[in-house]
Structure 1
Amino acid sequence: MLFSPIKPMLLTMKPEAFDDKNYIFEPKWDGWRILIHKQGGRIEAYTRNGQNVTAKFPELESVRESIHTETAILDCEGVCIRDGRSVFDDFQHRGRLSQKSRISHAAETHPATFVAFDVLYDGADLTGKPLYERKERLAEIIEPSDVLVPTLSIEGQGISLKAQTEQRDWEGIVAKRLDSKYSLDTRSNQWLKIKNWKQIDTVILGYRRELQFGLIVGLQFPTVQNKPVAVVEFGFNPEEKRAFLGVAKQLHTQEAKGVQWIDPRLCCRVQYLERTERHQLRIVSFKGFLFDKIPEECRWIS
């Protein structure tokens, strides 16, 4: 288990927050799932897909001082905090770098923090222990620092925590049964994620013919009109897709690289999780056509 790739326990999506004394609730951090392995002075970090990313995060050198046990495997979220919230784009940027000088510079401009929420190993395998025991052990062995911190957690009160994350524009919350064991490489219904979705009205610029059908949607910016911001692949029913294709063929302009572009006259509402620094929407789904909306009203909101 130690210093080898581990496929962590994953969460199941749930639409609504809830209260339950049998659950612990935590903020959902927006970064990369990272498993930190320690033995003596040796520290290594792996992604959920098993990639060793230790060299990308020189901050990890200080982590060994914050883990007060000889041997450990911690389940964490690697994040970059900006203006009080984790910014996925920033950590994604860190993860892409491979040149040593650029990595060192980014550690100064986009410092990484590892938010620990579970411990799998401390010289003995802890995955068979209930969550509340693993949480107690995690609190014993971590000394919080700028680089490694335990996650905030509360028992029983998911609805109020969800409301707080919405106010702070965080990603959402996680709900975990207090008695849950840690099942490797499993998407468990005892661990739940409840996300803070947002909606925006967009103009339809075209649609993808190849691979999976998807709408190309855009928004109006102060200096750019009808800029593409997302490909929407999910949320349609067959009737909506047929109706759209029937109308769209009257608006065809040009086709290129598997995309049929149309005259931008139709609008639709989409649901998304987050907006990137490059003005793209992440994790997008279709919510409905807007026949009374005009494209000029579909604007990027700063």
Structure 2
Amino acid sequence: MELRPIAPFEPIRSDTIPQGEEWVAQVKWDGVRMLTYSDGREVKLINRKGNDRTPQYPEFQDTGVYCRAGSVILDGEMIALSGGKPSFHEIMRRDSLRREQEIRFASGRIPAIYMIFDILYHDGKWVNGEPLRNRQQLLQELVIPSERVQVVPNVTDGELLFGLMQERGWEGIVSKRLDSAYAIGGKDGRWVKKKLARDLYAAIGGVTYRDGGVNAILLGLYDPEGRFIYIGHAGSGKWKVSDWRDLTENVKPLIVSDRPFANAPERMKGVVWIQPTLTVKIQFLEWTPGGTMRHPIIQGWANVPPEACDMGQSM
């Protein structure tokens, strides 16, 4: 593979929605950021953290089926639906698989959809310096839409789109300037996101039990000094009975006698401390004055290392 993975351009968080003829809005999908690299001989699918996810999505390994290009780098979101809307929990059921037989079985049972919103490289030429409007026009010419592959459409009225996302209970929107270049490894105000709720990756530092099984998790983030800071506990979300059963087994070898958190959690009674190696994605409404999450909800397992669960993250 001649093409080397890059760090994707990231939007910044905003409480306002930009207006004007240079701005368009797109749905913010509750999925996994995925870049496709094809040099004409080999294809790789790489996530936002630079991890290879090619084996997890065999149906997207032949780019000729959905893109008219000899070589290309595409940027988008891999999603899966549940109840008619994108579900992070569902796509993580695909993304977390490692065994070939399980992946083959899941590809039919949990259909993944690739929502493509940008192109960085085309037939031997970098196009990331071109304005977004030009890159989007190139996508329209190259991508072959299907049930599994779509080009993310623009909406000129961001307020209208955000209102629709509120009605549907989806994640939010991303607003982008049509004259913006794609800044590899960048993050600035040419792309901004407004979300219905906050979310982050957190590591599990403790659990509580009911009737012999784990029923709640205590969560933490690492601060700039490397201290593991308690940010709240969660016992509700999209996990099924089988997920809680798996967690009960997974924590057994991780149990430790000392509290891993630098600060004392609000709830200590009945807590069993564990090494903070397991990570999850959490959605919550806001931060409390005490620095904990208000109404946290477990979205699913997160395939990120514990050190990625830091206070500087912005999803």
CA contact (8 A) 2:197 2:284 kept: no
Specify the SS of the correspondent of 1:144. coil
The amino acid of 1:135's aligned partner reads: Q
Asked if the contact 2:180/2:190 (under 8 Å) is kept, the reply is yes
| Deviation for aligned residue 1:67 | 0.3
Q: Which amino acid aligns with 2:113?
A: T
Match of 1:104, SS state, is helix
Change (3 A) 1:158 1:206: closer
Q: Does 1:182 align with 2:199?
A: no
Superposed displacement of residue 146, structure 1: 1.9
Alignment of 1:44 onto 2:44: yes
Quote the offset at 1:80 in angstroms: 0.7
Kept after mapping to 1: 8 A contact 2:218/2:230: no
Deviations 1:83-122 (A, max 9, x none): 3211101111111111011001110111111110001011
- Cα 1:2–1:73 change in 2 (3 A) is farther
- Per-residue CA distance 1:107-160 (angstroms, 9 max, x = gap): 0111111110001011211011111111111111011012211012122x1100
Structure 2 equivalent of residue 117 of structure 1? 117
Q: CA deviation at 1:37?
A: 1.6
1:213 aligns with 2:230: yes
Give the direction of change, closer, same or farther, for the CA distance of 1:154–1:120 in structure 2 (3 Å limit).
same
Map 1:142-153 to 2 at 5 A.
142-153=143-154
> Does the 8 Å CA contact 1:24/1:153 hold for their aligned counterparts?
yes
Change (3 A) 1:137 1:211: same
Q: Is the 8 A contact 1:113 1:146 kept in 2?
A: yes
| Structure-2 residue corresponding to 1:269 | none
Residue equivalent to 1:4: 4
Structure 1 residues 84 and 211: alpha-carbon distance in aligned structure 2, compared to 1, 3 A threshold = same
Per-residue CA distance 1:10-53 (angstroms, 9 max, x = gap): 11000133432211110001111111122436422111222221
Name 1:21's counterpart in structure 2: 21
Q: Structure 2: which amino acid aligns with 1:125?
A: W
**TM-score scaled by structure 2?**
0.67
Contact residue 80 and residue 91 of structure 2 kept, 8 A: yes
For the residue of structure 1 that corresponds to 2:111, the secondary structure is coil
Where in structure 2 are there 5+ consecutive unaligned residues? Answer: 199-215, 221-226, 237-243, 245-263, 275-279, 298-315
AA of the residue aligned to 2:25: F
SS at match of 1:115: strand
CA distance in 2, matches of 1:93, 1:134: 32
Distance 2:16 2:35 in 1: 28
Quote the RMSD (CA, aligned, Å): 3.6
How do residues 221-232 of structure 1 correspond to structure 2 at under 5 angstroms? none
**Cα distance in 1, alignment partners of residues 35 and 219 from structure 2:** 39
Look up the match of 2:287.
Answer: 286
TM-score (norm 1): 0.70
Distance in 2 between residues matched to 1:206 and 1:141, nearest whole Å:
47
- Is it true that 1:35 corresponds to 2:35 in the alignment? yes
Look up the match of 1:162.
Answer: 162
- Number of residue-to-residue matches in the alignment: 243
Aligned amino acid, residue 232 of structure 2: L
Please give the residue correspondences for 1:60-209 in structure 2 after superposition, counting only pairs within 5 Å.
60-123=60-123, 124-155=125-156, 157-197=157-197
Structure of larger gyration radius: 1
Does the Cα contact within 8 Å between 1:43 and 1:64 map onto a contact in 2?
Answer: no
SS in 2 for 1:97: coil
| Separation of aligned partners in 1, 2:72 and 2:106 | 27
Q: Deviations over 1:200-251 (max 9, x none)?
A: xxxx99998x8213333557xxxxxxx9xxxxxxxxxxxxxxxxx9xx7xx9
